[in-house]
Chains A and B, each alone.
Chain A
Amino acid sequence: MIHHASLPARDPLRVATVLAELLGGRAYRFPLLEGAYQVVSGDRDGTMIEIYPANVQIDPEAGLVQAKQPAAYHPFHLLLSLPLAASDIERIGTREGWRTDFSVAGLPGRPPAFHLYRMWIENRVLVECVPEEMIGEYRRYMQFVSLDAIPAYQIEPKKEAVERAAIATAPLGLWSTAILATAH
């Protein structure tokens, strides 16, 4: 189970306040970092989201450090189920001026996997929001039995194994191609 996650914000208190509203929780000061907050959901799992000022990075040697230039966007996102109705999620997204799209997740040509709101916190950090009354769809889909039944989800053998096999069986003229593929 994922119990907590951290994300950056240009206006951490505002984002913490809005996330507290979305989670039905409370915002607390994060004692170890000035200007950072913890949004505590109050659920029994201790679900919590930490909000850091925009230029903070987590470094394995130095801990929480100030980056010179915060990244414009990030490869991280999260999906949350919320004790709110869909109309509340839309209202909060609209009020904050944050892009919020109701979307269908799934594979092309297949029935929808699940539905969600993609809310872009400060129009930058993606938080996928699902009303708790709709989360059954997601929970059922993200199970081995459901994913194992979809051919597109069957994993290929490890890449290195495929490359080794390709090199071992390739006619001489294909060696350079195989090596180039590995280099990429």
Chain B
Amino acid sequence: MIHHVSIPARDPRRVAEALRELLNGRIYPFPPHWCRDAYQVVSGDAHGTVLEVYPEGYWLEPIDKIFKKAEPAPFHPFHMLVSLPIEGAEIERVATREGWKNDFIAVGTPGVQPAFHCYRMWIENRVLFEFVPQSMAHEYESYMQFDRLDEMRPKEVAAA
């Protein structure tokens, strides 16, 4: 199980507030002896699901202090899919208010039955989150299983 993930933000407090609204959680400061102006968005779920938001211009390096100042990258290879305790209309409202690109999409290989549906929201128009209302999460959960993938994946690879 994935319990927490960290992302960078140009405006960490603003991003943390928006993620708090999406997760219906609370925000706390990240321990400042590691990194100042960073936040933890705590979901309150039983797993301790947390999204950490770091200020732009740091990366994590295998050195004792871990946080090191660095030039920010324009885009990243990271993204995550998170299920949320709110419905699609609220997800759309947050993205519109923030001015963040947000599309409702079918995920899958062209020509093959869609795997699942999600919102692709680009935090600060840069970092990709895929969001699924909890009421729709069963579609993703039932797709991402060995038996289903063993059946579907060869077709998807062939169609790609």
Contact = CB atoms under 8 A, between A and B. Distances in A.
Interface of A: 1-8, 26, 28-29, 31-32, 40-49, 52, 54, 56-60, 65, 67, 70-81, 99, 106-108, 120, 123-124, 126, 130, 135, 138-144, 147, 152-156, 158-159
Interface string B41-65: 0111111111100100011111000
Contact of B62 (A3, A52, A75, A124): A124
Nearest to B116: A46
Nearest to A65: B75
A-B complex: 6 closest residue pairs judged by Cβ atoms: A46-B144, A142-B48, A31-B160, A75-B8, A8-B77, A73-B59
Contacts of B77: 6-8, 52, 54, 56-58, 70, 74
Contact of A107 (B31, B109, B126, B159): B31
Contacts of A135: 1, 3
Main secondary structure of the interface of B (DSSP, over half): mixed
B125 interface: yes
B29 A156 contact: yes
B60 A77 contact: yes
Given A40-B149, A79-B3, A142-B48, A3 B156 contact: no
Contacts of B70: 71-73
B36 to A, nearest CB: 11
B154 to A, nearest CB: 9
A79 B2 contact: yes
Contacts of B160: 31-32
Interface in B1-47: 1-8, 13, 26-29, 31, 33, 39, 42-47
Contacts of A126: 60, 62, 66
Contacts, number: 201
Nearest to A46: B144
Interface residues of B, number: 68
A106 B30 CA distance: 10
Contact of B145 (A7, A42, A123, A143): A42
Contacts of A32: 109, 160
Contact of A143 (B48, B74, B109): B48
9 contacts: A3-B137, A4-B81, A5-B80, A31-B156, A47-B2, A52-B77, A57-B73, A79-B3, A80-B2
